[in-house]
Chains A and B, each alone.
Chain A
Amino acid sequence: MEQFLFFSVIVLWGLFLLNFFLLFLLFRQFGEIYLSSGDGIAKDGLPIGKSLPKDDRIYSMKEKQHVYLQEHITKSSLLVFVSSNCKPCQQLLREWNSAYHSNQHMINCMIVFIGEDNKVQDLIRKYSPEGQLFWDRNDSLFHRFKIRVTPFAIAIDEQGIVRDKGLCGTKEQINMYAQSILKDG
Chain B
Amino acid sequence: MLSYINGFIIIHLTFLFFLSALGKLFSLRQFNTFVNEYKILPRRLTNIISPLIPLLELLGALLILLSHTVWFGLVLLAILVLVFITTILFILKEKRDVYCGCYGRWINAKVDLYTLFKNIYLSCLIIFLSLSIPSFGINYSFISVLTGGIVTAILLSTHYYWQIYKERLKKLHEVRS
Q: Which residues of A contact B (CB under 8 A)?
A: 2-4, 6-7, 10-11, 14-15, 17-18, 21-22, 25, 28-29, 32-33, 37
**Residues of A contacting B: mostly:** helix
A14 to B144, CA, bound (A): 14
Q: Are B154 and A25 in contact (CB under 8 A)?
A: no
A3, B154: Cβ atoms closer than 8 Å: no
B→A interface (CB under 8 Å) = 1, 4, 8, 141, 143-144, 146-147, 150-151, 154, 157-158, 161-162, 165, 168-169, 172, 176
Pairwise interchain contact B165-A29, C-beta atoms closer than 8 A: yes
- Inter-chain contact A7/B143, CB cutoff 8 Å: yes
CA distance A32 to B169 in the complex (A): 8
Inter-chain CA distance A6–B2, complex, in Å, is 11
* 8 Å CB contact of B154 from A2, A4, A18, A33: A18
Among B141, B162, B165, the one with the most A-chain Cβ atoms within 10 Å of its Cβ is B165
Q: Within the complex, what minimum Cβ distance (angstroms) separates A34 from chain B? A: 11
The 16 listed contacts between A and B (C-beta, < 8 Å) are: A3-B4, A3-B144, A4-B143, A6-B1, A7-B4, A7-B143, A7-B144, A7-B147, A11-B151, A15-B154, A18-B154, A18-B157, A21-B158, A21-B162, A28-B165, A29-B168
CB-CB under 8 A for A25 and B162, given A32-B172, A33-B172 = yes
Are B161 and A14 neighbours in the complex by a CB distance under 8 Å? no
Given contacts A14-B151, A21-B161, 8 further A-B contacts (CB under 8 A): A2-B1, A3-B1, A7-B143, A10-B147, A11-B147, A25-B161, A25-B162, A29-B168
Q: Bound complex: CA of A37 vs CA of B172, how far in Å?
A: 10
Chain A residues with CB under 8 A of B172: 32-33
CB distance from A87 to the nearest CB of B (A): 15
- Docked Cα-Cα span, A28 to B169, in Å, equals 10
Residues of A within 8 A of B146 (CB): 7
Closest A residue, CB atoms, query B172: A32
Chain B hits for A21, CB < 8 A: 158, 161-162
Q: How far is the CA of A162 from the CA of B157 in the complex (A)?
A: 49
Taking CB atoms, residues of chain A closer than 8 Å to B147 are 7, 10-11
With the chains together, A121 CA to B20 CA distance in Å?
51
Query: If the complex has contacts A7-B143, A33-B172, are A25 and B151 also in contact, measured as CB distance less than 8 A?
Result: no
Question: How far apart are the CA atoms of A4 and B142 in the complex, in Å?
Answer: 10
User: 4 tightest A-B contacts by CB?
Assistant: A7-B147, A14-B154, A25-B165, A7-B143
Known contacts A17-B154, A29-B169, A32-B172; A10/B162 CB under 8 A: no
Chain B hits for A29, CB < 8 A: 165, 168-169
Residues of B within 8 A of A11 (CB): 147, 150-151
